[in-house]
Structure 1
Amino acid sequence: MDKQRRNTKKYSFRQPDLKELRSLTSYVLDPLEFKARHGKLLSILATQVDEGLMSVLVQFYDPLYRCFTFPDFQLLPTLEEYAYLVGIPILDQLSFSGLERVPSSQEIADLLHIDESIVGAYMTTKGGIQGLPSDFLIAQATMYAKAMSEDAFEAIFVLLIYGLVLFPKIDNFVDVNAIRIFSTLNPVPTLLGDTYFSLHMRNVNGGGTIVCCLPLLYKWFISHLPHTLAFKENKGCLRWSTRLMSLTNDDIFWYNRVYDGVQIINSCGEFSNVPLLGTYGGINYNPVLARRQLGFPLKDKPNNVLLEGVFFQEGKDPQNLKGRMVHAWRKIHRKGRKELGPKNCIALEPYTSWVRRIAYEYRMPYDHPRPTPMVMVGPSTLPNQGVEELRDEDRSRAWVIDELDDVVTSLLPQSSRFWKRKYDRLAKEKADMEAAYEREVKRLRAAYLPVSRDLDDCF
């Protein structure tokens, strides 16, 4: 790797104060029913973001390929991964374009199950966009919760999460874009669009404030980190820059079995990749680079046509990209096992060599220490599949328990004996799974490591 590093950029993140919003979770009577209706919003709301980790991660954003480029691998958030983390499916339509008309006070009142005159009285304009103050909505949610009016409370509470967490724009304000997206119940394409747009815009401008759903981006990234890096104590007091630069292709947790039957949204309409419209403008991303994250192999350098980039800011669209993107989402092209072959979650040498060359030419933002893999495994070939499948199943189950831990410990009333017993049982099951996982990994290593060494001699 070239010893010369590229300059790091100064980023900050919009992180609203969520204390009052989080306090409303005590009024959620049944978290599992809430999840069935609204997805994993409670888990996202409860997420505590490590801003130090995120400040380092964004330095790896590659504006040319719309991904995070590391010394020998790439990672990029996908529609399918965001849909799983949010717990809301992607509908076969674009959820938001910005071309929708502003909803009337009566329509908003009907959506929230409250009186129209109240909405009309508090509707205001900030930063050139209409919306409702969050303190008004929090007061309304509290009032309806105490009155046991569950429909009104849930509607207002969920809208607050959409406005302050999923689509933060103006502090203490829920704008009409968040209301529009909430009404469609199809937020995932817009969430991913805002993520890529903000990362790209700030990178091109040399830094600045990244405005997107930071808890979701954080949850996505740590889902790919090895357990020993993401969840264990940093006993060596190493900086995140050193810890991430030490990661290699073999350390990443690539694939979750929850995506086994998922059809990848590979392209839309005339575009060779996937166009995304966010609340600030439009951009596209390259699913072809993320196939390993969804279980399929990465064999070679992708065709340049599949990596063609488009980008525009809201109000600055001379090529009418917005209209073309809206039209493209009427024809979604998906791919699965039939088109991409069996799932084996590997990266072949031609692709890896291409990534190394990109990393060398683009330069890394930090010094590249001698790789110190967090988990010792063999090459990504068939002898290692036993370990990988075990990690998939274990991490899939552990992730569910981690989310329940978040909900139980951070959101539910601590006086509830039922939830205390449920939490204790889940914590014990989690500990037992981790211990069983470690034992099984040691057994599989002992069985396959000699074979892996023999294979190394063949390449």
Structure 2
Amino acid sequence: MENGFFDKVEDNTAVRIWAETTQQEKGDSLTEGYVSELSNFTRVSVTQNNLQEMKEIWAQWDDEVKRLFHCHYGDLLYLLDVKIDERLFRALVQYWNSAYSCFTFGKVDLVPTIEEYTALIRCPKIQVDRIYSKAASGPAFSKKLMNITGMSEQWKRVDVFALSIYGLVIFPKTLGHVDEAVSNLFDRLSKGTTPIPAIFAETFKSLNACRRAASTFVVPQSFLEVEKVSYRVFSENYSPLKELAATPRRDDITEENWMAILQNLQEEDVEWRAPWMVPDEILYRCGDIDWVPLLGVWGAVGYAPLLVLRQYKSRQFTPPTYRLAQCEFVFTGNNYKRRVREISNAWNQTRRIKKFAANPMATPEYDQ
């Protein structure tokens, strides 16, 4: 027990038996005709904020201020340089909406993971199980801004710059503006709160809205790796996000050509595993909830890591999904406050499963 959190690591076989039994007893998640209410709170657009001014501000800072930023906000800066290919993701949406399950190429799942996001941001100041949750009543917006900007001149520059990245890159709801909900999350980061589940929740909301609306969700082209990548051992100082942002990308492929590439991909052509991250333990459950609930800045969404065990190079078995979809809700009205408290309490008891790699990569029960 540390800082009020309990992290339990469980045997893979025991979790598999529990998961398969639970799924048999409770049944599936989605009911016919279910429509998520989060779509009204999700911005899906290929239009980007102009970040050139922020890049110029960074270039003017001296090494001391830059080190201060990296110390407290990790590799967040490199998100400014991640390239976006609008044509690729228009093709992806068309592909997903034509004849295939969302986020799947054949039997290869295409879902980001909490562990991957944590490794990408690489921030030493966060506590991985101390999540952000929207307070029922908190300080006024002006008070939060005073907390952020009321320190030394160096701190003010660093914090306001980081807040801009969160508001304009990670959680952009209105172009050119930082939403008050983002400042609420940012105000909590100084307490060691991890922003990863909130970022992850927004990713899922946008991906789902993208599929429903046949529109395009803006994520880095590099998240789709078509080339085979050999495993490498990286040092603790290695920054995958820095390398990702600096990797040259082709920008001369048309939407039609991307669609042709996607339609002709075979399972062996796709590598959806980060070569720089092979965790031995996987977060799969919080408290008595059968999956991992994610609290974003505007709403909550359910995340089931046991659905994508092959992305961890672990054997895939049948996961429990009962009421997973009903985990979604928005932060409006009075009822959401109780549900936020329940999820926050569940995160005080995180559960992880030991990775288990073996052939075949899926159990017979899962294939059935």
Structure 1 residue 18, shift from structure 2 partner: 1.8
Structure 1 residue 12, shift from structure 2 partner: 3.4
Q: How does 1:260-299 map to 2 (within 5 A)?
A: 260-298=278-316
Alignment check: 8 A CA contact 2:132 2:188 kept: yes
Larger radius of gyration: 1
Aligned to 2:244: none
Provide the rounded CA distance (Å) in 1 between the counterparts of 2:221 and 2:252.
22
Equivalent AA in structure 2 for residue 171 of structure 1: L
User: Out of 191, 205, 208, which is 1:200 matched to?
Assistant: 208
Aligned sequence identity (%): 25
Provide the rounded CA distance (Å) in 1 between the counterparts of 2:56 and 2:150.
21
Q: In the alignment, is residue 158 of structure 1 matched against residue 162 of structure 2? A: yes
Equivalent AA in structure 1 for residue 147 of structure 2: D
Query: CA separation of 1:101/1:324 partners in 2, compared to 1, >3 Å: closer, same or farther?
Result: same
Alignment check: 8 A CA contact 2:210 2:216 kept: yes
Aligned to 1:171: 175
Provide the TM-score with structure 1 as the length reference: 0.55
Structure 1 residue 175, shift from structure 2 partner: 2.6
Alignment check: 8 A CA contact 2:130 2:347 kept: yes
Q: How does 1:83-94 map to 2 (within 5 A)?
A: 83-88=118-123, 91-94=128-131
Instruction: Specify which structure has the higher proportion of helix.
Output: 1
Provide the rounded CA distance (Å) in 2 between the counterparts of 1:165 and 1:69.
26
Structure 1 residue 104, shift from structure 2 partner: 5.4
User: Out of 273, 277, 285, which is 1:259 matched to?
Assistant: 277
Aligned to 1:312: 329
Q: How does 1:410-421 map to 2 (within 5 A)?
A: none
Alignment check: 8 A CA contact 1:60 1:68 kept: no
Provide the rounded CA distance (Å) in 2 between the counterparts of 1:179 and 1:167.
10
Provide the rounded CA distance (Å) in 2 between the counterparts of 1:245 and 1:307.
33
Q: How does 1:40-439 map to 2 (within 5 A)?
A: 40-59=75-94, 68-88=103-123, 91-97=128-134, 99-103=136-140, 105-113=142-150, 149-185=153-189, 186-204=194-212, 206-207=213-214, 214=218, 217-218=219-220, 221-222=223-224, 224-226=225-227, 233=250, 239-256=257-274, 258-298=276-316, 300=317, 302-305=318-321, 308-310=324-326, 311-315=328-332, 321-336=339-354, 340-341=355-356, 343=357, 347-348=361-362, 350=364
Q: How does 1:440-451 map to 2 (within 5 A)?
A: none
Structure 1 residue 151, shift from structure 2 partner: 2.3
Structure 1 residue 346, shift from structure 2 partner: 6.6
Q: Deviations over 1:120-166 (max 9, x none)?
A: xxxxxxxxxxxxxxxxxxxxxxxx9xxxx432211111111111111
Q: Deviations over 1:400-449 (max 9, x none)?
A: xxxxxxxxxxxxxxxxxxxxxxxxxxxxxxxxxxxxxxxxxxxxxxxxxx
Alignment check: 8 A CA contact 2:131 2:195 kept: no
Query: CA separation of 1:347/1:242 partners in 2, compared to 1, >3 Å: closer, same or farther?
Result: farther
Alignment check: 8 A CA contact 2:83 2:220 kept: no
Aligned to 1:380: none
Provide the rounded CA distance (Å) in 1 between the counterparts of 2:144 and 2:106.
51
Aligned to 1:27: 60
Aligned residues between the structures: 295
Q: SS of 1:259's equivalent?
A: coil
Structure 1 residue 85, shift from structure 2 partner: 1.6
Q: Deviations over 1:236-265 (max 9, x none)?
A: 866212212222221222434543345321
Equivalent AA in structure 2 for residue 274 of structure 1: V
Equivalent AA in structure 1 for residue 205 of structure 2: F
Alignment check: 8 A CA contact 2:226 2:270 kept: yes
Equivalent AA in structure 2 for residue 157 of structure 1: F
Alignment check: 8 A CA contact 1:85 1:220 kept: no
Alignment check: 8 A CA contact 1:225 1:253 kept: yes
Pairwise CA RMSD:
3.6
- Segments of 5+ residues of structure 1 without an aligned counterpart are 1-10, 115-143, 355-459
Alignment check: 8 A CA contact 2:89 2:216 kept: no
Equivalent AA in structure 2 for residue 308 of structure 1: L
Provide the rounded CA distance (Å) in 1 between the counterparts of 2:94 and 2:323.
21
Provide the TM-score with structure 2 as the length reference: 0.67
Alignment check: 8 A CA contact 1:283 1:312 kept: yes
Provide the rounded CA distance (Å) in 2 between the counterparts of 1:317 and 1:283.
18
